[in-house]
Amino acid sequence: MSPPRHPLSVGRCEFAGTWTCCYHGWTFDLQTGVLKAALTDGPDSPICGKVRVKTYPVEERCGLVWVYMGDVERDDTGTFRPPPVEADIPEQFFEPDVMLIGRMSMQQGNWRYACENAFDEGHVWYLHRYGSVHSLTWKLPAWSRIKVILEDETWVTRDVQELGFGGQYGALGRWPRNRFWNWRRLAARVSMRLPCTMRLTYGGSNRTKYAWYVPVGRDRNRYLQLYAFKVPRLSERVWAYIYYWAYARWADLGQFNRQDAWMVGLMPETAPERLYRPDVSITGWRKLCEHARGLEASAVPFSEGLEHLEGQPAVAAQPARAPAGQPASPAGGS
């Protein structure tokens, strides 16, 4: 925010190496954050040099602007020294013949709740069963048993151990009542990693979906969704564009995910929680947050903690905040 309480995210570049607030024309040095000019107060404005805003390390990779929001110190020259930005960007983004395309929106709800929803196992089989064009033809299980595992040292993944497509729920009757148009099996694998990154891989597909839930205050998050298409041929790139603009943008990234956003926006911060067996996924995610960069190392390695998740008491939700030493998150596209 600039001193007149206006967000600098909607400013512009008037001079090299500076950023100007679009409201009153206050112009800040990008490296130091010091006010260099107050354009609407004239060249001799006495406030220049007396105001400073916080600045963050920024890098551009893969057509996106990545901002490091974690704790970091400057060196003797005054330059930020954060970890390499490549450490927090999905490796697939740097592979040859990968095309990225997606959308960004602002959502209501705390970013931690949005991450928990993304990795939550139980809601998929009920919430998305109704009212979504994207899941209209899916033959969804009624329930599942999963194990949370560690992949590639940084991703926690929901590894499905068992699926149940229906059953007799006592005197209530049998559920679900599948229709003839529910024929397509959902072959997907969901993973999460810090700071707020979700990965959804589709079996037998040339696309992978990624999402970020970037904190914007306590009760809002910037929701970035990207498809990574593996398209070595021009014809495949054209088809990926057609698929995205004709269907996926509105049906999957739009209507389908608005169901999730609706639930996240309704989540109150109340206690106590009542977790059930599918919430082993949420417990695994919370344990991952305990191992965020910058936090004191746990006595129990994360991989060992995951092995003992099943049958253990639920991990209580922590205060809704960004982890210490939060890695780089995408701020927008170019």
pLDDT in tens, 246-305: 999 999 999 999 999 999 998 877 667 888 999 999 999 988 888 777 666 565 666 666
**Furthest-apart CA pair in the chain: how many Å?**
81
Q: Where does the pLDDT of residue 314 fall: very low under 50, low under 70, confident under 90, or very high at 90 and above?
A: very low
CA separation for the pair 66, 327 (Å, rounded) = 10
Q: Where does the pLDDT of residue 4 fall: very low under 50, low under 70, confident under 90, or very high at 90 and above?
A: low
Distances from the Cα of 226 to the Cα of 63, 132, 209, 220, 327, angstroms: 12, 20, 6, 19, 19
Contact criterion met (CB below 8 Å) for 288 and 115: no
pLDDT computed for residue 272 by the predictor: 74
For the stretch 234-243, pLDDT in tens is 999 999 999 9
Contact criterion met (CB below 8 Å) for 62 and 42: no
Q: What is the mean pLDDT of residues 182-188?
A: 78
Query: 């909607």: which residue's tokens?
Result: 10
Q: Residue 167 is encoded by which pair of tokens?
A: 């059953």
Given a cut of 50, whether residue 76 has pLDDT beyond it is yes
Q: What is the mean pLDDT of residues 312-321?
A: 46
pLDDT computed for residue 288 by the predictor: 87
Share of the chain above pLDDT 90, in %: 54
Q: Where does the pLDDT of residue 228 fall: very low under 50, low under 70, confident under 90, or very high at 90 and above?
A: very high
Per DSSP, 308 falls in state T
Given a cut of 60, whether residue 164 has pLDDT beyond it is yes
CA separation for the pair 97, 196 (Å, rounded) = 26
Q: Domains of the chain by range and CATH?
A: 1-55 (2.20.25.10), 88-333 (3.90.380.10)
Torsion of the alpha carbons at 251, 255, 260 and 263, rounded to the nearest 10:
-160
